[in-house]
Chains A and B, each alone.
Chain A
Amino acid sequence: MRDPRLRILSTILLSAGAFISPVGAVAALLWWALFTPRLKAVPHPRMLSGVVLMISATAIVSELTGGLGLLYLLRMIPILLIAAWAFSDRQESELLDVSVWMMGKRTGFDIGLMAEMGLQGLRMINQDIVQVRQAMEIKGMKPSVRNLVPLAANIVINQLRRTEETAKLLTVRGYSAGGEIEPTFLTERRDLLLAVLASAVPILSLLAHW
Chain B
Amino acid sequence: MRAELELMASREGFSLRCRASYGPGVHLVSGAIGSGKTTMALAMAGLVPFDGDLRFEGVESKVMSLQFPEYHVTAASVDDEVRSWGLDPGEVLPRAGLIGRNAVDPFKLSRGQLKRLNLACVFALDPDLLILDEPFSSLDCRAKAKVCQAIGSRDGRITMLFSHERAMLPRVTTLSQISDAELEPLGAVPGSIGRWAGAPPYLRRALEHGARPRNIAMDDVEEALCATRG
Question: Touching in the complex, A and B, CB below 8 A?
Answer: yes
Known: A139-B84, A139-B85, A157-B107. A134 touches B74 (CB 8 A): no
Which residues of chain B come closer than 8 Å to A137, judged between CB atoms? Answer: 47
Q: How many residues of A contact B (CB 8 A)?
A: 15
Question: How far is B126's CA from A27's CA once the two chains are assembled, in angstroms?
Answer: 66
Question: How far is B66's CA from A150's CA once the two chains are assembled, in angstroms?
Answer: 17
Do A131 and B68 have beta carbons less than 8 Å apart?
Answer: yes
Which of these, B42, B70, B75, contacts A134 with CB under 8 Å?
B42
A181 at the interface (CB under 8 A from B): no
Do A128 and B71 have beta carbons less than 8 Å apart?
Answer: yes
Which of these, B42, B70, B74, contacts A136 with CB under 8 Å?
B74
Which residues of chain A come closer than 8 Å to B64, judged between CB atoms? Answer: 138
Q: Find the B residue at minimum CB distance from A136.
A: B74
Known: A131-B66, A134-B47, A157-B107. A139 touches B71 (CB 8 A): no
**What 0/1 pattern do residues 118 to 161 of A give for CB contact below 8 A with B?**
00000000001001101111110100000100100010011000
Do A139 and B74 have beta carbons less than 8 Å apart?
Answer: yes
CB distance from B1 to the nearest CB of A (A): 20
Question: How far is B84's CA from A147's CA once the two chains are assembled, in angstroms?
Answer: 12
Question: How far is B149's CA from A91's CA once the two chains are assembled, in angstroms?
Answer: 50
Which of these, B45, B71, B84, contacts A132 with CB under 8 Å?
B71
Do B107 and A138 have beta carbons less than 8 Å apart?
Answer: no
In the complex, 17 of the A-B residue pairs with CB atoms within 8 angstroms, ordered by the A residue number, are: A131-B66, A131-B71, A132-B71, A134-B45, A135-B71, A136-B74, A138-B45, A138-B64, A138-B66, A139-B74, A141-B84, A147-B74, A150-B73, A150-B75, A154-B70, A157-B107, A158-B70
Which residues of chain B come closer than 8 Å to A158, judged between CB atoms? Answer: 70
CB distance from A10 to the nearest CB of B (A): 30
Question: How far is B72's CA from A136's CA once the two chains are assembled, in angstroms?
Answer: 7
**What 0/1 pattern do residues 35 to 63 of B give for CB contact below 8 A with A?**
00000001001010000000000000001
Question: How far is B74's CA from A131's CA once the two chains are assembled, in angstroms?
Answer: 13
Q: Find the A residue at minimum CB distance from B118.
A: A135
Question: How far is B44's CA from A138's CA once the two chains are assembled, in angstroms?
Answer: 12
Which residues of chain B come closer than 8 Å to A132, judged between CB atoms? Answer: 71
